[in-house]
Amino acid sequence: MEARDNGALKEAKDKLEKRVEELTWRLDVEKHLRVDLEVAKGQEITKLQSALQEMQEKLEEAHAAIINEKESAKLAIEQAPPKIVEVPVVDNAKVELLTSQNEELETELGTFRTKAEDLEKKLFEIKKQSDELSREAQERDCKINELQEMIARLETNLSNMESENHVLRQQSLLASADDDNKTKQIESLESKIAILESENQVLRSNPAPAVQAVVNPEVIQPSVMKVLENGHQLGEPKMEDVVVPPIKNLSKQQSLTDRQQENHDILIKSLAEDRRYDNKRPAAACIVYKSLLHWHSFEAEKTNIFDRIIHTIRSSVENAESSGELAYWLSTTSTLLYLLQNTLKASSSSTKVPNRSRTATGNLFNRMVQNARSSSSGLGISNGYSGMVGRADTASMIEAKYPAVRFKQQLTAYVEKIYGMMRDSLKREISAILTLCIQAPRAGRVRASRGSLKSIHSSALSRQASSVHWQNIIKCLNHTLETMNSNYGTSNDN
């Protein structure tokens, strides 16, 4: 199953990489096609503009010819002698010719205007298509980035699964060794039972000591059978353990479990409700770390406190209503993860797993680590056990069991998840404003190409609008930075 899971993850990774390569190749091809289309559109627009200018020149020449012919006709009418009767007939023919020519010129002018309107419509459609292509290119870039982030997350999950598999293999080897020891002890107990049964038969043959001998085997044999059925208690049975019931031990154990449950409830309540900062560090993370260290939870084979902590963090993150709450939980989880990294010592099997880069939260977590080192003296934790200053000695670190290793991996995943949620929300806020910033200069260029005072004024207004949009983007970034600084998520020293 583990090999299948790893193979499936690798196949998914290869498919995603092939998909990314195909998308990048398509994006390059579409970019080249877009450039060629824009060049062809520019040439076509220049040709159409030149044809329009030629038609306008011809139209002006026709208007000038009509005006000249009208003036010549007026002069001819004025200069003609009144005795001649045929002159009006000639003038009427010329007027009819001129009117017919004028009508033809007007029809040509109407056709030119319709052609110009069609050209403007085509130009507008071409601009729309170019805008759509640019939007599609931006969307594909975003998809490529998302696929790359998904590949990085799959790689981190694969590395986590490999480390978990190594830990489970080591535990299975230890369990098999324990099973071998148990079988040997069971065989020794069976041999002892056979010896006791033989002694019991010998004692039954004697009538006098039968009273003492019958009691002992009957009391001992049920305890041995319980050992064989459970397989957990492998020690030899004793008379005192069987005859006297451990009522006091059970009551003490019950009181200890109740007290431990109360302590766990108090710790979970402080994690969910305590939002204070102590020396620029979240107090809840320090309290959780000190409590787990005091209870020796990192060395426990079975415990449910880690699952309860992760459940509290998950519910708080899912119910977060603002970026400030996400920043607080990012600071808390990263601080707790830093403390665990400097306290827990990886097992021999997990150290063989190759480390892979976590591109999503590397820089942010490094800045948080620098803040944690600068404020390590205020946490009140010994340097030899937690490694708050510099690097901790490997001899003083704790060898983590499987629940602690799993808890550390879940914390790492939640640090990445919270950071991704904050990044995506900031992207959504900025992308809407960025589209307005990109559209405003384009509208200004189209209007400025017509070359009028009104277009110049509109371009100035569009520049002012774009500057307002850029100021809004700066405000969003400053607000995010202030939120992170208020929760001590970044360092201002650098």
Give per-residue pLDDT as tens, 186-229: 877 878 888 887 777 777 776 544 433 333 433 333 333 333 33
Average the pLDDT over 126-138 and give the result.
Answer: 87
Average the pLDDT over 477-489 and give the result.
Answer: 83
Instruction: Please determine, for residue 416, whether its predicted confidence score (pLDDT) is greater than 90.
Output: yes
Q: End of a domain among 424, 449, 472?
A: 424
Specify whether 306 is located in the same domain as 238: no
Average the pLDDT over 423-439 and give the result.
Answer: 83
Has this prediction a pTM greater than 0.75? no
Q: In angstroms, what CA-CA distances link 103 with 52, 73, 97?
A: 20, 18, 10
Specify whether 130 is located in the same domain as 274: no
Of the chain, the percentage scoring pLDDT greater than 90 comes to 15
Specify whether 437 is located in the same domain as 387: no
Q: In angstroms, what CA-CA distances link 255 with 75, 249, 264, 265?
A: 128, 10, 14, 15
Average the pLDDT over 381-390 and give the result.
Answer: 36
Beta bridge partners of 443: none
Q: What is the pLDDT of residues 16-33, one digit of tens each?
A: 989 899 999 999 999 999
What is the C-alpha to C-alpha distance for residues 131 and 47, in angstroms, rounded to an integer? Answer: 22
What does the DSSP assignment read for 315-346?
Answer: HHHHT--SHHHHHHHHHHHHHHHHHHHTTEE-
Lowest mean pLDDT among 136-140, 226-230, 390-394: 226-230
Which pLDDT band holds residue 252 (cuts at 50, 70, 90)?
Answer: low
Instruction: Please determine, for residue 398, whether its predicted confidence score (pLDDT) is greater than 70.
Output: yes
Specify whether 347 is located in the same domain as 258: yes
Which pLDDT band holds residue 329 (cuts at 50, 70, 90)?
Answer: very high
Q: End of a domain among 424, 454, 469?
A: 424
Specify whether 301 is located in the same domain as 211: no
Specify whether 273 is located in the same domain as 231: no
CA end-to-end span of the chain: 47
Highest mean pLDDT: which range of 91-100, 238-247, 349-358, 398-407: 398-407
Q: Is residue 251 part of a domain?
A: yes
Number of domains in the chain: 4
Lowest mean pLDDT among 163-172, 382-391, 413-422: 382-391
Alpha helices (runs of H) in 295-322, residue ranges in sequence order: 305-318
pLDDT at 453: 53
Q: End of a domain among 424, 455, 474?
A: 424
Q: Is residue 493 part of a domain?
A: no
Between residues 304 and 467, which one has the greater pLDDT?
304
Structure tokens, 88: 């009006």
Specify whether 416 is located in the same domain as 437: no
Average the pLDDT over 223-246 and give the result.
Answer: 39
pLDDT at 69: 87
Domain span at residue 386?
247-424
Q: Is residue 372 part of a domain?
A: yes
Q: Is residue 151 part of a domain?
A: no
Of the chain, the percentage scoring pLDDT greater than 70 comes to 71
pLDDT at 78: 80
Chain mean pLDDT for the chain: 75
Specify whether 237 is located in the same domain as 319: no
Average the pLDDT over 80-94 and give the result.
Answer: 61
Q: Is residue 171 part of a domain?
A: no
Structure tokens, 220: 């001992």
Q: Is residue 189 part of a domain?
A: yes
Lowest mean pLDDT among 196-210, 288-302, 464-478: 196-210
Q: What is the pLDDT of residues 31-72, one digit of tens each?
A: 999 899 899 988 989 989 998 889 889 888 988 989 988 888
Specify whether 137 is located in the same domain as 102: yes
Contact 345, 398 (CB under 8 A): yes
What is the C-alpha to C-alpha distance for residues 77 and 90, in angstroms, rounded to an integer? Answer: 10
What is the C-alpha to C-alpha distance for residues 214 and 212, in angstroms, rounded to an integer? Answer: 6
Specify whether 293 is located in the same domain as 221: no
Specify whether 39 is located in the same domain as 141: yes
Q: Is residue 53 part of a domain?
A: yes
Q: Is residue 173 part of a domain?
A: no
Between residues 236 and 68, which one has the greater pLDDT?
68
Specify whether 284 is located in the same domain as 406: yes
pLDDT at 88: 52
